[in-house]
Amino acid sequence: ACSGGYYIACAADEIVADHNSIVGSIGVISRGFGYVRKLRKEGLERRVHVAGRSKSGLDPFMPIKANDLARQQRLLNELHQ
């Protein structure tokens, strides 16, 4: 069943698998891109105004902050469990 089967079975109270079943984990991925150098080259500046912590984390138009990246990895690891 692998990942698709787990997705379908996520509402079940119990999942039963035979020894010959092919099973795998559901992966978790977070994708993005970095546009910081291009904006700088074009003379553009990104302006973001937020209220609250971590609201602009991993913004593709701003340099990556180590604490935002670490928070994202913790979240991905938690979701994967």
Mean pLDDT confidence for 56-68: 85
pLDDT of residue 24: 65
The tokens for 55 are 């609201």
Average pLDDT of the segment spanning 49-69: 83
Amino acid at 41: K
In this prediction, residue 55 has a pLDDT band, given cuts at 50, 70 and 90, of confident
Query: If residue 8 lies in a helix (H) or strand (E), which one and from where to where?
Result: helix 2-9
Q: Which residue has 């609250």 as its token pair?
A: 52
pTM (whole model) above 0.75: no
